[in-house]
Amino acid sequence: MKEERTRNWRLSLLIAVPGLVALAVTPSGAQTSRARQTSSPPVAPQQGRAHHSAVVAWGHQLVILGGDNGVTGESLSITQPSIAIADPLSQDMVPAGLLLTGRSYHHSLEINNGTILVMGGVDADFEPLASTEFIDSDMSVISGPALGVPRTVFASLVLPGGGVTVLGGHTEAGRRPTASVELLRDGERAWSDGGRLLHRRAGHTATLLDDGRVLIVGGYDGRWPVAEAELWDPDSGVSLAVGRMAVPRFNHRAVRLGDGSVAVFGGATEVDAFSEIEIWSAAIRGFQSAGQLIHPRVGHTATGLPDGRVLIVGGTLEPRPAELWTPSTRTSSAVADLVVGRSWHTASPVGEDVWIVGGIESGEYPFVPLVVQVPSP
């Protein structure tokens, strides 16, 4: 029964991650002790990775956490417990310690006191995790308060009052995604109920708006891609419907623009990537078409830049130029000298550069990061 459940769960997660032929994981030998690690923690050998998380913390340090690596197909890949820090001088990744639990498809955030909070994901048996971990600037790692339910392929963000929320995601092997929301309020030691979304969702986006509410867009409900958007209020826990996209999608990317609107880029309908861009605005409480990307993309990144443009990287089966999308003209232009074929990587602004770390490219897991100096408008 457990083997059948695990097989179905893997298929379910693959549906939520188009473009992967197969992804299974084996135990990594990760530490499971809940004791605090020393300030000189053990480190793992450097390896390529995908489905990891990246956080810019402690004064522009880029911290890379967990993920998996291996090859697609019948071979197994490994869920990693390793932590690495970007070195801006060598433009390389330096091993920096180990998580207590190897995990991928998780989330990591820097919370108000400068600590990194690592949440959920899947473990080496491909089961969703409820565990969390705190990482301090000295790279000490301690266990955090467990989520009320395990979660993977969920959304998370830091709230204006200093708390953290997690929304939706898969909670159990073979089950449909959840609509539940949890809160970890600033100074509290346990997660609390944050209400429910209007729709079950995994592979969705959550974007903090200027008024403190959170815009939830798209996702996969376990049967179909979701077109509906909703506004969740962290104070009341109530979520309201606020429009419907022309194209249902999941595993897309969303970026809040300078005028407070939110642009949604690419994603998947069911199994195919597509290129449509839509913008949600509070003025119309709905979406408008905002053109198209040059190439269909899923598993890509969309990074808002200081000048208002958005850098789109990867998410294509074959190497394609990255794109710069301009909100004022709603047009996208190719970045000819940045041709990338990787997917399920991370893209993080570090100083004036954007670091592209990890991902899957032609069945390989690239180790060397790309450091992008974005061209001027």
Residue pLDDT, tens place only, 37-74: 333 445 444 678 899 999 999 877 899 999 988 644 33
Q: What are the residues facing 252 on neighbouring strands?
A: none
What are φ and ψ of residue 8, in 5° steps?
-65, -40
For 113-148, how does the pLDDT look when each residue is reduced to its tens digit (9 = 90+)?
Answer: 789 999 999 988 888 999 999 999 999 999 999 999
- % of the chain beyond a pLDDT of 70: 85
Can you tell me the distance from the alpha carbon of 147 to that of 179, in angstroms, rounded to the nearest whole number?
Answer: 14
3-state class (DSSP) for residue 85: strand
Task: Give the model's pLDDT for residue 46.
Answer: 60
Rg (Cα) of the chain, in Å, rounded?
Answer: 19
- Give the pTM: 0.87
Residue 152, judged by CB atoms within 10 A of its CB (0-12, 13-18, 19+), counts as buried
Can you tell me the distance from the alpha carbon of 245 to that of 278, in angstroms, rounded to the nearest whole number?
Answer: 7
Average pLDDT over residues 89-116: 89
Structural domains of the chain, ranges and CATH numbers in brackets: 2-28+51-373 (2.120.10.80)
What are φ and ψ of residue 109, in 5° steps?
-140, 150
Can you tell me the distance from the alpha carbon of 37 to that of 41, in angstroms, rounded to the nearest whole number?
Answer: 6
Task: Give the model's pLDDT for residue 81.
Answer: 79
Nearest to 308 by CA among 322, 324, 296: 324
